[in-house]
Chains A and B, each alone.
Chain A
Amino acid sequence: MTTSPASVSLLADDVEEDLRASVRRAIERHAPTERVTAIYDGTDEVTAPLWSAFAGLGLPGLLVPESLGGAGATAREAAAVLEELGRAAAPSPFLTSSVVATTALVALGDTEILPALASGEQTAALLVRPTALRHGPATTTAVGLPADVLLVPEGDALYAVRGAATAPVSSLDMTRPLAEVSLGGGERTLVSADAAAAVDRALLTGAGLLAAEQVGVARWALETTVAYLSVRRQFGRVVGGFQALKHRLADLYAEVEQADAAARYAAACLATDDPDAPVAVHVAASFCGEAATHAAEEAIQLHGGLGMTWEHPAHLHLKRAKADELLLGTPEAHRAALAVLVDLPPPVVEPVETPAPER
């Protein structure tokens, strides 16, 4: 009997704090705001150097077993990385390759593709609808591209495709680019004929850990806004002193703390493969997605005109939050899935009686 997450401390330990600090240093060095903003103008000088730094820290292999060159770490460590990525709205294939694709391959017992993913030499992406919550047919538009290996579901089978042609698509959040893919010219190999459960597991893990990224976005928005309202003077006083604004920030603080708790619980459940994991993930995904968007929206509003400018990073976080909210299942989709798990009856569709036309 493993320890249930209910009895596990959700507080960060020293290892997590050290990991978080190294990740934050790498991000501060390679993904400063101006360079992230430049991605919207078509110049990406962040993704590649940041990924090299991540590879140097062994982050791409966090979830890969040690026997395949990974760190054999758990979802909790991956969550810490994602929270830092969210905080900086930094672009990275970490979620799509090192979490989602890696989880699917680990569940299928792959030994061919994982070593290259663990070292960060190659990236992989699961080719499903960006908002997919469950295993489903492959799509032509996906996140996490370009990737060296595409994992393509076909029925219950999963194929690895290399060398497929991809074309970038302009996306609402350019720090997580979309691309169109055509599989025609690619070289296919079968990974598993029975992969539906592994793909579901990968998407569940992705959604649960995306919640940690959303907490990072929300925390950045809260802290930045509190700092600004503590110094911004207007009407002869510091505007953070106005009760109307103070109360909004107090509410936001409570919301972010709740989101943090939900995301940490989801990561802890995923880390120990707890039976409560699906419930924990759907709670975290539906709550944290909306919390991040709300926090980013409040950051824009409470920075006033400054928040609408291209020079202030608030817009990067708003776009990241809104796109993250839809990614790997909208809050509505997660709530619908949660309702089934907690035995809520499905909606009853009453036949609508159309009155006979009057003669």
Chain B
Amino acid sequence: MKLSFARINQELSALKVDLLGDEGLRYADWTMRRPTFVDFFGQDAGFRYLRAKGNSIEGGTSEVLRNVVAERILGLPTEHRVDKDVPWKDLPR
């Protein structure tokens, strides 16, 4: 679900900016904010376009989620891992 949500939200928010044209080039306010609640829909198209980019990174990147889907749901084999069952301090860095 999250994998699809991120993609759809990014495509939709980009489409909105495209459709607005001249208006899409505007941006309401660049003042730094630290919102304490999700105010995605109260914002303008430019904000939503930029904010949606985070959807495929935060809370599990889409790349990691695809691995989870491929391995846990589809049962495909995992890639060779060098970091499994090895303490972090012993990992090659």
Please give the residue numbers on chain A whose beta carbons come within 8 Å of chain B beta carbons, in ascending order: 40-42, 129-131, 139, 141, 143, 169-174, 178, 233, 235-237, 242, 244-245, 293, 297, 300-301, 304-305, 307-308, 315, 318-319, 322-323, 325-327, 330, 332
Contacts and interface: CB of A to CB of B under 8 A. Distances in A.
Contact of A304 (B21, B24, B57): B57
A233 B57 contact: no
Contacts of B38: none
A105 B35 CA distance: 48
A92 to B, nearest CB: 17
A307 B28 contact: no
Contacts of A236: 81-83, 86, 91-92
B53 A301 contact: yes
Contacts of A178: 25-26
A131 B83 contact: no
Contacts of B21: 131, 326, 330
A291 B22 CA distance: 20
Given A131-B21, A236-B92, A170 B26 contact: yes
A308 B54 contact: yes
B39 interface: no
Contact of B93 (A172, A233, A242, A315): A233
A236 B81 CA distance: 8
Contacts of B93: 233
Contacts of A174: 27, 30
Nearest to A296: B53
A23 B49 CA distance: 32
Contact of B49 (A170, A242, A304, A322): A322
Given A304-B57, A307-B57, A322-B17, A172 B25 contact: yes
23 contacts: A41-B32, A143-B25, A171-B26, A171-B27, A174-B27, A174-B30, A178-B25, A178-B26, A235-B81, A236-B83, A244-B63, A300-B53, A301-B56, A301-B57, A308-B54, A308-B57, A318-B50, A318-B53, A322-B17, A323-B25, A326-B17, A330-B18, A332-B18
A299 B14 CA distance: 16
Given A170-B28, A172-B49, A236-B82, 14 more contacts: A42-B30, A170-B26, A170-B29, A172-B25, A178-B26, A293-B14, A300-B57, A301-B62, A304-B57, A322-B14, A322-B17, A322-B49, A327-B25, A332-B18
Contacts of A131: 21-22, 25
B91 A170 contact: no
Contacts of B54: 308
Given A236-B82, A330-B18, A170 B50 contact: no
A42 B93 CA distance: 41
A308 B81 contact: no
B30 A169 contact: no
A74 to B, nearest CB: 29
A344 B23 CA distance: 30
B40 to A, nearest CB: 15
A70 B56 CA distance: 49
B83 to A, nearest CB: 3
B22 to A, nearest CB: 5
A332 B14 CA distance: 14
Contacts of A242: 79
B61 interface: yes
Contacts of A233: 93
A156 to B, nearest CB: 23
A326 B57 contact: no
A233 B92 CA distance: 9
A319 B17 contact: no
A130 B30 contact: no
A172 B18 contact: no
